Chain A
């Protein structure tokens, strides 16, 4: 009966009607002059025009500025720029269309404007709760499949001093609306879709095995709380194998939209649980090797399954039921179910890489890099959710 909170925060709207109704949403949220954040690719494809039309349609909302972000710039520079553009154009709302990093920048901008705290690094500590001073409506339109940060209350900040990405958790980061537009997702290449599928799978496994800690007396202990996040993961894992295969083979609008929605809801659900080792390891590899997060996911999924196998066999057995279906589950020996799940996921990941991302090269690590990865993971609060205690040698071993 321990106290627990679950907020279903961001509202998710699917389909093109969401874009067409942008002016209504903004009006209702109290915005009259918005800043649109996007990138050059979106301008070239004509997508930003569609967004602009949605905003200007009702003649009640104006566009104060269009900021074209460059994902290669450092977060501090971009945030400084965005803050200046937002303030100097008298904007009172934000719409962001883009990939994961751009959405994170827009969320951080919202946090800075809302709380009137320009340096978002002061939110690194989970105890520094932002106080809402100004209302800044934020609408996200993710244009990449499977990223999920369009509707959660978390953002990544690359810390140049420590050379690693740090998570900022704050309720004020949670957008008001997230519009999942299938027409944009349909344009993605097969390999991007495949990485998206792996991203969803990784987050679902992470959330499914996550455990909770709380301060009990002077100790931090594992506690039993009402766990809604796990159910989000179970829903996503159910028939995942079949759904993902048919999505990648056929790739029609309906299948993509359904999994994109699952991914978005999963992100909301994982606000409660937090993620675990897969996310944390992929992020650490990405920081150390300087390659994209998605490219690190296959290695992270396989390594974390091996690392956790003995720590949570029951959870893996339950996941097998959802992942492969009850008929196949009942054919497994009770003692072999956890291993069966690990093997099934590994086979799936290998299959996806072979068929849809043939140019994928698994990262190789030197001893120094392995040490750096472990150090980066030690900074990540998501590792606290992992069912197995932090074991430096074991982590290094699974990365070999």
Chain B
């Protein structure tokens, strides 16, 4: 046996008006009787947590709540949440909020599956490659979505500053509920950042040496279509809930495609730069992607003809004049970035994010220890070192 099995049904997406209400029905069908709620501090203080509770109160039996997850998820949060889960004799988890709350919820799920109570010990203790413990995890994103909702990826910081990264099918999300009532007001800059990040994740997941999995293609294309149809308007009409909702949905789908295809170099590089400089993940990721697309020799590694055929006709794809498939993709990415630049100021270089040369030196040291050969060459080209 060389695969890991979790025996759970694949993820279920509930989207649109009434998604929260329907989530309660689906949870009840899945046998959720006692629920642990995990939420980040920002969603709690902004009132979104209460909004969800108002919809849930009558139908869902919430027996424990953990609302203290900070911007960066910590192992301590996981252990505290796990204690609450056990004290309340819970049988399911709801994660409300951004990335960090989702990471904590997923970590609690895998700790329960492997019967580990201290997260920092997980890597040395967990050996199971199958687990049939069914523990429903429902994710309710409250911001413009970070794309990790349906991933199997977890990133936690330990007390000594070290980072734990896991990618396991046991951190599987069962249900994602995206309700427009949670897609509250956002600044144009945030929408732009989230939208570009979506584009970056979708295109990156299509750029693969081997033929991508059908589901990856489906999620990525769906994200690109939703983004193309709504991006400009969502930035101009920033109070349009409908547009923002569609961008958030695109981000979830793009994340789904991205995290199910192996593109860890770009993610790792972004994470290291963010750790060193404290910059926003999405902003750094967008910059690195834009640079990456331009410097990589796409024709050498990828079937660009198929990718253009997959993306299909949209306003950012220009077929006029004699062009190669590679040129079409590069031009279309450029057009996305430049069109958006007309309406909103977003960071265009790493200097705009206060990333200094010294910091980049540290990043290169770190990356050199992990990568070599072609990957390291690519990293050097992307960050210009």
Of the listed stretches A1-9, A107-115, A383-391, name the one at the interface; the rest are far from the partner chain.
A1-9
The answer to whether A3 and B22 touch (CB under 8 A), given A21-B5, A231-B221, A232-B218, is: yes
Contact B306 A7 (CB under 8 A): no
Q: Which residues of A contact B211 (CB under 8 A)?
A: 258
A24 contacts chain B at the CB level, 8 A cutoff: yes
Q: Which residues of A contact B312 (CB under 8 A)?
A: 234, 318, 321-322
Give per-residue flags for B1-28: 1 if the beta carbon is below 8 A from chain A beta carbons, else 0. 1110101011111111111001000000
Give per-residue flags for A6-23: 1 if the beta carbon is below 8 A from chain B beta carbons, else 0. 111111010001001100
Q: Which residues of A contact B2 (CB under 8 A)?
A: 17
B242 contacts chain A at the CB level, 8 A cutoff: yes
Contact B309 A321 (CB under 8 A): yes
Chain A contact patch, size range? 35 or more
The answer to whether A1 and B16 touch (CB under 8 A), given A24-B1, A25-B7, is: yes
Q: Which residues of A contact B325 (CB under 8 A)?
A: 326
B225 contacts chain A at the CB level, 8 A cutoff: yes
Contact A226 B309 (CB under 8 A): no
Q: Which residues of B contact A261 (CB under 8 A)?
A: 214
B143 contacts chain A at the CB level, 8 A cutoff: no
Give per-residue flags for A324-353: 1 if the beta carbon is below 8 A from chain B beta carbons, else 0. 011000100000000000000000000000
User: Please, which residue of chain B has its CB at the minimum distance from the CB of A2?
Assistant: B16
The answer to whether A231 and B225 touch (CB under 8 A), given A238-B306, A262-B214, A322-B309, is: yes
Q: Which residues of A contact B12 (CB under 8 A)?
A: 5-8
Contact B306 A239 (CB under 8 A): yes
Number of interface residues of B (CB under 8 A): 43
Instruction: Give A237 to B16 CA distance when docked, in angstroms.
Output: 28
Q: Which residues of B contact A232 (CB under 8 A)?
A: 214, 218
A74 contacts chain B at the CB level, 8 A cutoff: no
The answer to whether A28 and B130 touch (CB under 8 A), given A261-B214, A322-B309, is: yes
Instruction: Give A225 to B16 CA distance when docked, in angstroms.
Output: 9
Contact A3 B17 (CB under 8 A): yes
Q: Which residues of A contact B9 (CB under 8 A)?
A: 7-9, 11, 176
Q: Which residues of B contact A9 (CB under 8 A)?
A: 9-10
Q: Which residues of B contact A228 (CB under 8 A)?
A: 218, 222
Q: Which residues of A contact B18 (CB under 8 A)?
A: 3
Contact B218 A235 (CB under 8 A): yes
- Among B19, B309, B313, point to the contact of A325 (Cβ < 8 A): B309
- Among B217, B241, B242, point to the contact of A235 (Cβ < 8 A): B217
Contact B305 A325 (CB under 8 A): yes
Q: Point out which of A1, A3, A10, A132 has the most chain B C-beta atoms below 10 A from its C-beta.
A: A1
Contact B218 A3 (CB under 8 A): no
- Among B5, B13, B17, point to the contact of A28 (Cβ < 8 A): B5
Q: Which residues of B contact A24 (CB under 8 A)?
A: 1, 5, 130
Q: Smallest CB–CB gap between B247 and chain A, Å? A: 12
Instruction: Give A2 to B305 CA distance when docked, in angstroms.
Output: 35
Could you pull out 26 A-B pairs where Cβ atoms are within 8 angstroms? A1-B16, A1-B242, A7-B10, A8-B10, A8-B12, A8-B13, A10-B10, A17-B2, A17-B3, A21-B1, A21-B3, A21-B5, A25-B7, A28-B5, A28-B7, A28-B132, A30-B132, A231-B225, A232-B214, A234-B312, A235-B217, A235-B218, A238-B306, A269-B218, A325-B305, A326-B328
